[in-house]
Amino acid sequence: MSQIEIRPIRKLEAEFSVPGDKSISHRGIMLGGLAAGTTRLRGFLPGEDCLSTLHALQALGCRIDRVAPDEVLIEGQGGKLLAPAEPIDCGNSGTTMRLLSGVVAGFPFTTRLFGDASLSRRPMGRIAEPLRQFGAEILCEGSGDRPPLSIRGAQLRAIRFTSQVASAQVKSCVLLAALQASGKTTFSEPTLSRDHTERLLPAFGASFRTENRSLILHGPQRLEATELDVPGDFSSAAFWMVLAAGLRGSKLTLRRVGLNPTRTALISALLRMGAGILEKVEQSTPEPLGTITVTGTESLKATSVAGKEIPNLIDEIPIFAVAAALAQGTTEIRDAAELRHKESDRLAVVAKNLRLFGVPVEEKPDGLLIEGRCQLVGAEVESHGDHRIAMSAAILGLFAKGKTVVKDTACIETSYPGFSKQIALIQELGR
């Protein structure tokens, strides 16, 4: 079993970049597969989740060549995907399963999607409902609305759909199906979720409009191939940002990081805590990217996150909890019940792991109360097969007295290949 051993460091002085954005890599592969012509995707994240999407599009008839570890050429099918010869393995990737369901819903064949044990526990009713309204037949073969999924595509008709949760995956699934549906599809959600799909659609020649906080797309639409540079993943940068912010005298510069404002709520939260952070946007379309500079502060202070801020912070909550453990006072996280349906029950697991380090935590149905600035002690912690849990525990170990061991770290490969080498280098530099 793979593991990472961590010793505390004194400060961090470094400049580097992080791997490509996972969300954009997924969407670039899918849109490129639907488009006519050859799409070039530079900065592609070669993590296991994105490779699941790549292999899925290959199974649907797309030729995809890896011309470099982080660069792919996608021979799009011009909206004419082929029936897969066998069920498609989505691995651990909820994004692959949920978005791909929208892709295949409009094609006249049956697609079966399955995944690993973790993915098989994640709810799929939230995407099955709108796809059924479009006219596709969806069977959730697992308990309740759990995978595997069997999707029998059909000639889709436009729908008006209001999501009960702010979810970029639900929104993207609906928009991908709407590209193939006849008529005007209208999508609404309670608050704005990440908007990567909306930013990428025009790059592939699609059009839609926003009206009274709803997205309106007239289908069917034909996509055209493009060239796309994927920025560094903000969620990956977040681990190093929290590390630098919590180490007095540190300075960290991260280059070519995605700065999409629907992804950067962590910056706002850390600024409220007193962190020194500067961001400089150097490219605005289709995705903003630029440089983040973080300087360590004398002492972080507690804050609260809740409501509309949560959808744009949802993936960063595990590492935000690390910042909370370093801060003076009690930090409150609310309205984050969605975290119970990720690769692990992230609220429960974050609480459990923080306590192992000596951090007092109260778990709520939809959040956490974290009392910071206690004496951190090294611990042996489990990843629970969750990449963000594993990396967050490793970062916290850099602040803890003694040795920390994070077990079962192979899951990190789903989103951040090279993390183990990076944290080993940082330990060498920070002694």
Domains in the chain and their CATH numbers? 3-20+231-429 (3.65.10.10), 22-229 (3.65.10.10)
Of the residues 21, 49, 233, 315, only one is catalytic, namely 315
Q: Could you confirm whether 315 is annotated as catalytic?
A: yes
Query: Which H or E element spans position 293?
Result: strand 289-295
Q: Is 94 annotated as a binding residue?
A: yes
Dist CA 392 CA 315 (whole Å): 11
> CB-side exposure of 388: number of CA atoms within 13 Å?
26
Reading the block at residue 49, the tokens are: 């989740």
Residue 95 pLDDT grade (very low, low, confident, very high; cuts 50, 70, 90)? very high
Dist CA 85 CA 82 (whole Å): 9
Q: Is 58 annotated as a binding residue?
A: no
Give the predicted TM-score (pTM) of the model: 0.94
Residue 213 pLDDT grade (very low, low, confident, very high; cuts 50, 70, 90)? confident
Question: Residue 266 pLDDT > 90, yes or no?
Answer: yes
Question: How, if at all, do strands 110-114 and 88-89 pair?
Answer: parallel
Question: Residue 430 pLDDT > 80, yes or no?
Answer: no
Query: Mean pLDDT across the stretch 249-270?
Result: 96
Query: Which H or E element spans position 49?
Result: helix 48-59
Dist CA 255 CA 289 (whole Å): 9
368-421 residue pLDDT tens: 999 999 899 999 999 999 999 999 999 999 999 999 999 999 999 999 999 999
For the chain, the residue count is 431
Query: Mean pLDDT across the stretch 291-316?
Result: 94
**The dihedral sign for the CA sequence 218, 222, 223, 224:** negative
Q: Is 415 annotated as a binding residue?
A: no
Dist CA 41 CA 55 (whole Å): 15
Count of Cβ atoms closer than 10 Å to residue 144 Cβ = 8
Question: Residue 212 pLDDT > 90, yes or no?
Answer: no
Residue 79 pLDDT grade (very low, low, confident, very high; cuts 50, 70, 90)? confident
Q: Is 401 annotated as a binding residue?
A: no
129-152 residue pLDDT tens: 999 999 999 999 998 899 999 999
The alpha carbon of 75 is separated from its chain's Cα centroid by a whole number of angstroms, namely 25
Q: Is 27 annotated as a binding residue?
A: yes
* pLDDT score at 77: 87
